[in-house]
Amino acid sequence: MAAHVRSVPRDGAFVVPRGAVTGSNAPRLFALILTCSAVLGAVLPCACAPTHAAKTPLGDLANLGSLNAVMEEQEHTAEPHFAKASADTLTEDDLVTLADVGDRLVATSARTKAFSKDPEFDALADQLGGHAKALADAARAKDVAAAKKALGDVHATCDACHSKFH
């Protein structure tokens, strides 16, 4: 990787310009470049990755093994989209995403009842499932007003449940 360095004649002697990559400092420079590359390679993907991303396939949501796993899935599914309830409009991509959010919340709210805390907890899970179904249906129908309302209802139900049971 060392580049050819032209010596500069000075007073009858050849002097290598200061800072030139030579055989003696090339290994240090190479090590520095590798270190920087490794650090950036480790840091940049984390900085660019979404902070919330539901990873469990829809068909596997019914098999989540704990209430904590269900709650994490619901949070990662819904929370990034709550601000859309007050947006001026929703794009086609938003509606596709919200239909998926609704489907995922229907599945997780049903699974939540497997870890029932009491009848009020089950009622809130049912309420969340109803709002989630309304969200999915409205998004598929491209009914922006209904989708935004249903998303706001989902958010309110999440808040109500967390204030009671969290």
| CA neighbor of 94 nearest in space, from 147, 18, 15 | 147
The reported pTM is: 0.67
pLDDT at residue 24, rounded to an integer: 62
Domain covering 58-165, topology: Four Helix Bundle (Hemerythrin (Met), subunit A) (1.20.120)
Give per-residue pLDDT as tens, 105-127. Answer: 999 999 998 988 789 999 999 99
Q: Do the beta carbons of residue 98 and residue 135 sit within 8 Å?
A: yes
b (16+ CB within 10 A) / e for 54-65: bebeeeebeebe
b (16+ CB within 10 A) / e for 81-104: beebbeeeebeeebbebbbbbbbb
Give per-residue pLDDT as tens, 17-34. Answer: 566 555 566 566 555 565
Average pLDDT, the chain: 81
Q: Which helix (H) or strand (E) holds 8?
A: strand 8-10
Q: Do the beta carbons of residue 109 and residue 75 sit within 8 Å?
A: no
**Domain extents in the chain:** 8-48, 58-165
